[in-house]
Amino acid sequence: MKTKKQKTHVKKGDYVQIITGTYKGKTGTILKVLHKTQTVIVENLNIKIKHIQPQKEGDTGKILRKESPIHISNVMLYCKKHKTASRYRNEITENSTKQRILIKTGEGVI
C-alpha cells in the first residue's frame, strides 16, 4: 500500500527562520524537504562536521561540513522586507491561482 506525503507548510526555495534550538533566530533558504521524516535542510545552517580517515596509503584525511536536517515544526516562513516570521493563508487571485499570503505582512510568499 502506498503512503501519502504529509502536508507541509514550507516548500523547497522558501525563505524561513528557525524558531527553536541552537540556531534560533537564524534565517536561510530551504534546500530540500524530506517528507518521510518531516524534516527540512536549510542552507548554511545546522552544520555538522564529519572527519574522514584516509582510505589508501598516501591519501590525506578530509573534514566534511554538511547541513543536517531540522524538524519542520522548528521553522517558520520569513519576510525579508518586514523582517518578521509569520504563518500563512491561501488566497485565490483574480486569475484563479492559489497563492500563499503571510498573515502578519499580507504579502505573498515568493
Q: Is 29 within the bounds of a domain?
A: yes
Domain containing 31 — which CATH number?
2.30.30.30
User: Domain range holding 28?
Assistant: 15-85
- Between CA 45 and CA 86 the distance in angstroms is 20
pLDDT per residue over 57-89, tens digit each? Answer: 999 999 999 999 999 999 999 999 999 999 999
CB 15 within 8 A of CB 45: no
Domain count within the chain: 1
Q: Is 20 within the bounds of a domain?
A: yes
Q: Is 103 within the bounds of a domain?
A: no
Q: Which of 68, 76, 83 is nearest to 20 (CA)?
A: 76
Give me the pLDDT at residue 100, please: 94
Q: Is 96 within the bounds of a domain?
A: no
Q: Name the pLDDT band for 1 (thresholds 50, 70, 90).
A: low
Q: Is 7 within the bounds of a domain?
A: no
Q: Can you spell out the DSSP letters for 47-100? A: EEEEEE--SSTT---EEEEEE--EEGGGEEEEETTTTEE--EEEEE-TTS-EEE
Give me the pLDDT at residue 44, please: 95
Q: Is 40 within the bounds of a domain?
A: yes
Q: Is 1 within the bounds of a domain?
A: no
Q: Name the pLDDT band for 15 (thresholds 50, 70, 90).
A: very high
Q: Is 106 within the bounds of a domain?
A: no
Give me the pLDDT at residue 53, please: 95
